[in-house]
Chains A and B, each alone.
Chain A
Amino acid sequence: MVRQDCGSCHGLRLTGGLGPPLTRDVMAAQPLDSLVSVIFNGRPGTPMPGWKSMISEGDAVWIARQLQAGFPAEPSASQAAR
């Protein structure tokens, strides 16, 4: 879900798009609490929506931790191709 639905603004590889990159370096530099809040409540004044209608706060914490740890590499092209 993160890769696809975050990916529509942040890129399938989370390297950024209309939304900023969510790569490990960028994420690790942010406090966990503020990441959780942005995911859950959104960032007013920017296109970033709050996702609380679709995920729990626990989910938001999990996503924030995953982003800070560096999101798992996507399946390689060869695996994904068929």
Chain B
Amino acid sequence: MKPRRFRHLFTAAVAAFVLAGCAGAPALLVPPERGNGDLGLVIERESGSLGVLDTTARQRIGTIEGLGDLSHASVVYGRDGARAYVFGRDGALTKVNLRTGRIEGRVQQAGNSIGGAISQDGTLVVAQNYKPGGIKVFNADTLALVADIPAVVDGKPSRVVGLADLPGNRFIYSLFDAGQIWIADLADPAGPVLTKFENVGKEPYDALVTPDGRTYIAGLFGEDGLAKIDLWANPPKVERILNGYGRGQQPLPVFKMPHLRGWAVAGRTAWLPAIGRHEVLVVNTDTWQEVARIPVAGQPVFVMARPDGRQVWVNFAVPDYDTVQVIDTQTRRIVHSLKPGKAVLHMEFTPRGEAVWISSRDAGHVTVVDTATFRTLAVLPAHSPSGIFFSSRAARMGL
């Protein structure tokens, strides 16, 4: 009797100790034995929070809160795929850890910001700002300010858009107000070297860099056309492509600016949203001539290629923002239309493209769709979701 009672007491004490220990240790969203290759984040723009995603289980595994105004927020990943840098509209830069679900650092770096990029070697994080117009460079580890580069032309500050990383710890970006493209070489972060391209066209509104880091393309809002720079040319210079693609036609109102960062390249063609027309433009990437235009359901916002380039997925500005269309790049025909929920804001492919995750802001969910059968694989709750960013971006240039 006596020993057994003692044993019970002992067991209870051990249990209490273990429970107390668990409560004291930080809970992990991702267990230690797992890697980071299949994680992701979804921005919850109104509540200033992030949903942490598992793209293999197709589940939401946690929430990170306290990030401020996340309208138009975007994310870049550190090389380990576990740490992400979130650029908020309100100018805050927040470093989060997807494994722990914790905020590891946060700086209020500007009044109004639109996104950012991370350097090739992962040591520098750069924010592009509307107010004050320019870029700011931070130590990726500590978030200490390394360089502040105002985008001032003729005494006037310009809003910065279309920021992308280039090889050699360089960054390229466009000046919306000044109509220029700048490259900041941060090989020596303490002494940035700037290269400026002037008169690139009116109102560059967003831009992209090709996955090889060779070509930078800025969309122009104020003109029918795009500005292209071949960064491997010596010296690089700006060329106009698709000049006058809407000539002679009254442009339709643009209720939301297209985004170019979803860069759609499929074989030898690039697929781009037209401004002020309900069309996707197809360009030959050898000649940079237009080869086709595909009529679509509305003003395209994101035109994104599945990683293999076989399909291009398109979403639209209000009032057509409940629709997503899929173009087969071989036949250049729309092969599928779906309505995953009201106000589709973003799409993100899994690393090898078997599924696409689509955020529907007003429907309050993220839909996971099989890209071969177009079947819905999962619907996950999210509060006003916008951008979706998978950790596989850590390994890609220009994202």
Contacts and interface: CB of A to CB of B under 8 A. Distances in A.
B253 A49 contact: yes
A29 interface: no
Nearest to A10: B71
Interface in A1-29: 4-5, 7-9, 11-13, 15-18
A17 B46 contact: no
Nearest to B253: A49
Contact of B46 (A5, A54, A75): A75
A17 B89 contact: yes
A54 B65 CA distance: 35
Nearest to B113: A17
Given A4-B343, A12-B45, A18-B257, A54 B318 contact: yes
A54 B383 contact: no
A42 B253 CA distance: 9
A50 interface: yes
Given A8-B256, A77-B48, A16 B71 contact: no
A72 interface: no
B168 interface: no
Given A18-B159, A81-B65, A5 B47 contact: no
Contacts of B112: 11, 15-17
Contacts of B159: 18
A53 interface: yes
B203 interface: yes
B205 interface: yes
A81 B64 CA distance: 11
Interface in B277-306: none
B176 A54 contact: no
A58 to B, nearest CB: 18
Most-contacted residue by chain B among A9, A18, A42 (CB, 10 A): A18
Interface string A45-82: 00101110110000000000000000000110100111
A7 B71 contact: yes
A13 B71 contact: yes
B361 A4 contact: yes
Nearest to B66: A77
Interface in B73-93: 89-90
Contact of A80 (B46, B318, B319): B46
Contact of A47 (B89, B257, B343): B257
Contact of B89 (A4, A11, A80): A11
Nearest to B73: A12
Nearest to A21: B112
B49 interface: yes
A4 B362 CA distance: 10
A10 B90 CA distance: 12
Nearest to A16: B112
Contact of A49 (B47, B205, B255): B255
A32 to B, nearest CB: 22
A18 B89 contact: no
A17 B205 CA distance: 12
Interface of A: 4-5, 7-9, 11-13, 15-18, 42, 47, 49-51, 53-54, 74-75, 77, 80-82
28 contacts: A4-B343, A4-B361, A4-B362, A5-B255, A8-B257, A9-B257, A11-B69, A11-B71, A11-B112, A12-B46, A12-B69, A13-B71, A13-B89, A15-B89, A16-B131, A47-B203, A49-B253, A49-B254, A49-B255, A51-B253, A53-B319, A54-B255, A54-B318, A74-B46, A75-B46, A77-B47, A77-B48, A81-B47
Interface of B: 45-49, 65, 69, 71-72, 89-90, 112, 114, 130-131, 159, 161, 176, 203, 205, 221, 253-257, 318-319, 343, 361-362, 383-384
Given A4-B343, A18-B176, 7 more contacts: A5-B318, A8-B71, A11-B112, A16-B131, A18-B159, A49-B254, A81-B47
